Amino acid sequence: MEGEAEVDVGGNPVADDFQAPELRPAQVAKDQTEFDAPFQALITEGAWGSVWSRPHWSKRERSMVTIALLAALGHDEELAMHVRATRNTGASEADLREAMMHVAIYAGIPAANHAIKIIKKTYAEPAAPQRNGSAGRKRAR
C-alpha cells in the first residue's frame, strides 16, 4: 500500500517470486485493504524476513518442507504458489515427487493424491518450472 515501507527480505528468491503480483494469490492482490495490510506485512516479515532467511536449511530444503506441509494441510492456493516458486528455490520435480511420498504416508493418501493433481496442473501452466527434474528456469526480470 502507498506510504508503507518495504520489508527487506535479503534478496530471497522465494520472496521475490511471491511478491510479484501475478504470483500472489488473486484474492490477496485484488482485495488487500488498509485492514489487512498489517497482516500482509506480518507474513512478509515473518516468513521471508525471518524463517526463509535462516542459515541451517537451503532454499531448496525449505521449499520441499513447505510444499509437503501445505499439501498435508490442504492449502491448495498456497501449494500452487510454492510450486511456481520452485524455479527460484532449486526444488526439482523429483524433489516434489519424494515429498508427496512422505505426505502420503504421514498425512494420508487423499492429501497426497489431491496435492499431486495441483502440482501437475501447476507444472502445466505456461510459466511453470520445467518438468525435467531440474530446478527449472528463472523468471525473466
User: Cα–chain-centroid distance for residue 5?
Assistant: 23
Residue 126: per-residue pLDDT = 86
Give the pLDDT confidence of 78-137 residue by residue, as tens digits.
999 999 999 899 999 999 999 999 999 999 999 999 999 999 999 999 876 765 554 443
The string over 122-138, giving b where at least 16 C-beta atoms fall within 10 Å of a residue's C-beta and e elsewhere, is bbeeeebbeeeeebbee
Contact (Cβ atoms closer than 8 angstroms) between residue 118 and residue 79: yes
Query: What radius of gyration, in Å, describes the C-alpha atoms of the chain?
Result: 15
Give the pLDDT confidence of 53-87 residue by residue, as tens digits.
999 999 999 999 999 999 999 999 999 999 999 98
In this predicted model, which residue has the larger pLDDT, 16 or 41?
41
* Domain assignments of the chain as residue spans, ordered by start: 13-123
Residue 118: per-residue pLDDT = 98
Fold of the CATH domain 13-123 = AhpD-like (1.20.1290)
Tell the residue number behind the cell numbers 526444488, with chain if given.
91
Q: How confident is the model at residue 47 (pLDDT cuts 50, 70, 90)?
A: confident
